[in-house]
Amino acid sequence: MALFLEILSWGLLIIGSMMLIIGGIGMVRLPDVFSRMHGAGIIDTMGACTILLGLTFQAGLSIVTLKLVLIVVFIVFTSPTATHALARAALHGGARPQLDEPVEDDPASQGEASSKT
Amino acid sequence: MASVIRAKARFLPLGGGWSLLHALSLGLVLFCLWLLLSGFFVTLLLSLGVVSVAFVVWIAHRMDVIDHEGHPTHLTIRALLYWPWLIVEIIKANINVAGAIVRRRMSVNPSVIEVKATQETELGQVIYANSITLTPGTVTIDIDKDIIIVHALTLKAAEDLESGDMDRRVTALEAHPPAEELPPPLPPGGQTK
Amino acid sequence: MMFALTAAAVLVTMVLTLYRSIKGPTVYDRILGINAFGTLTVVLISVYGFLSGRPDFLDLALVYALINFINTIAVSKYVEFSHMGRPTGGDELGDM
């Protein structure tokens, strides 16, 4: 059982580290600010939460575990709110998402259903 | 029609504002937080905690922020059923977006799509929008009445969202509010997309 | 060992987000980079606690998570409205 928890913890930490680096690469490579938010989303959800859960299995059942779970809950609840506030600020501040095909100038005010390819 | 209901949901004090259940829930959560952060189980500290929690609940009552939105106790059971599904979705979307990023030529197709939120209450819309944002590959950038404007990174993320599965699940999550918080019933066909 | 590996990965990612927040063409890129940097700081504090064998810094991580959230909201609101009070123009700008 202890070995199983150890292996699980290892796996979660390694997956989380990989996802962190992938999200960081995404934040550097992706073309515009709205796309980079997806990279930040990977860092927040899969990266940080997976690493913290891996640490949870490492700590055994104690008050440390509960604090880690509390941090995960905080991140999960606050990350989408912060991202949405930033996206709204960017949209109102004049940043326009870079799209594959040209669409209307202001996507917020148009009634058309879809602009994807 | 949905906008009318939404306007009512905003301006009516749903549930009468103050309810004992929500206050108890807030107090319980705060006391658990106190225990978690202090870690000492001594009579003096516990009684100090009780006094602090009572003070905070009283202030929150005075500020009139204890209501069904701050403490959605009526959602608890169904939310526990919703979260595992959401976690699985997040993992799948993560793998998809990570695969799109690490290609040598990034296979991203950024697009802006509009999805309709069929939830009746603002709380349901908030849960839906936050679920969209929490799933990598899709970010909510604006809400116009009940139309949610979403920036999608890959084609697969956009297709998954447009299939409406998450929308149905969130609508089912907030489907049965308690009797005193029930909004006026929708006309038949008002909920369908 | 694996804590050291994880901490190294966190540090590499911090460098990447810091690059984005220094280079970023718009101010929103910088805010995004700083937000991700704050999340990574939370993770780094937690991992360092386990690395040094004394996981006592988790309270700091907890507080930092909250401060990071408020930081992002406040800066986004400041950049959007140019001040911290009520919006002055138009109804659709309120409620943020």
Helix runs in B12-75, H state only: 20-38, 43-63
CA C7 to CA C52: how far, in whole Å? 12
More confident residue, B7 or B37: B37
Residue A109: predicted pLDDT: 42
Residues B78 and B147 in one domain: yes
CA A110 to CA A107: how far, in whole Å? 6
A62-68 average pLDDT score: 85
Question: Is residue B4 situated within a structural domain?
Answer: no
Residues B103 and B168 in one domain: yes
- Minimum mean pLDDT among A71-85, A101-115, B94-108: which range? A101-115
- Minimum mean pLDDT among A4-18, B16-30, B46-60: which range? B16-30
Residue B181: predicted pLDDT: 47
- Give Cα A92 to chain centroid, integer Å: 22
Sorted by where each begins, the domain ranges of chain A are: 2-92
Residue B162: predicted pLDDT: 83
More confident residue, B5 or C23: C23
Residues B102 and B153 in one domain: yes
B91-116 average pLDDT score: 84
Number of domains in chain B: 2
pLDDT at B15 over 60: no
Residues B90 and B143 in one domain: yes
> Do A26 and B144 lie within an 8 Å CB cutoff?
no
* Min Cα–Cα distance to chain B from A109, Å: 9
Chain C contact present for A66, CB below 8 A: no
Residues B80 and B59 in one domain: no
Residue C23: predicted pLDDT: 86
- Give Cα B192 to chain centroid, integer Å: 21
Boundary residue ending a domain (B42, B63, B84): B63
Residue B3: predicted pLDDT: 44
Residue C87: predicted pLDDT: 52
Chain B contact present for A71, CB below 8 A: no
* Min Cα–Cα distance to chain A from B82, Å: 14
Question: Is residue B130 situated within a structural domain?
Answer: yes
A75-83 average pLDDT score: 90
For chain C, which chains pass the contact test of at least 3 CB pairs under 8 Å?
A
More confident residue, B19 or C32: C32
Residues B99 and B158 in one domain: yes
Residues B46 and B80 in one domain: no
**Segments of chain C with pLDDT less than 70:** 82-96
Residue C10: predicted pLDDT: 93
Percent of chain B with pLDDT over 90: 5
Residues B90 and B156 in one domain: yes
CA separation, residue B133 to residues B138, C41, C66 (Å): 6, 22, 19
Percent of chain B with pLDDT over 70: 78
Q: Which two tokens stand for residue C8?
A: 């190294």
Q: Which residue of A has its CA nearest to B88?
A: A46
Number of H helices, E strands in chain A: 4, 0
Which of C55, C43, B33, C61 is closest to A58 using CA atoms? Answer: C55
Question: Is residue B132 situated within a structural domain?
Answer: yes
Residues of B in contact with A97 (CB under 8 A): 110, 112, 141, 151
- Minimum mean pLDDT among A23-32, A58-67, B96-105, B168-177: which range? B168-177
What's the mean per-residue pLDDT of chain A? 80
Residue B175: predicted pLDDT: 66
Instruction: Place A92 in a pLDDT band, splitting at 50, 70 and 90.
Output: confident
Residues B37 and B83 in one domain: no
Contact in structure between B68 and B74 (CB atoms under 8 Å) = yes
- Minimum mean pLDDT among A95-99, B22-26, C44-48: which range? A95-99
Residue C15: predicted pLDDT: 93
Q: At what angle do helices A63-92 and B20-38 cross, to 10 degrees?
A: 120
Q: Which two tokens stand for residue B116?
A: 């309709």
Residue C43: predicted pLDDT: 92
Contact in structure between B9 and B121 (CB atoms under 8 Å) = yes
Residue B20: predicted pLDDT: 79
pLDDT at B187 over 70: no
Contact in structure between B151 and A87 (CB atoms under 8 Å) = yes
DSSP state of B186: P
More confident residue, B28 or C83: B28
Tens of pLDDT along B107-134? 778 888 888 888 888 888 888 888 888 8
Residues B80 and B124 in one domain: yes
Q: Which residue of C has its CA nearest to A71?
A: C62
Question: Is residue B79 situated within a structural domain?
Answer: yes
Residue A95: predicted pLDDT: 75
Residues B82 and B172 in one domain: yes
Residues B107 and B130 in one domain: yes
CA B111 to CA B151: how far, in whole Å? 6
* Min Cα–Cα distance to chain A from C42, Å: 8
Residue A34: predicted pLDDT: 87
If one counts every other C-beta atom within 10 angstroms of the C-beta of residue B8, the result is: 12
Residue B191: predicted pLDDT: 41
pLDDT at A78 over 70: yes
Helix runs in chain C, H state only: 2-23, 27-51, 58-81
B10-25 average pLDDT score: 61
Residue C68: predicted pLDDT: 92
Question: Is residue B109 situated within a structural domain?
Answer: yes
Residue B192: predicted pLDDT: 39
Identify the top-confidence range among B59-63, B91-95, B170-174, C88-92: B91-95
Q: Quote the domain boundaries for residue B158.
A: 74-181
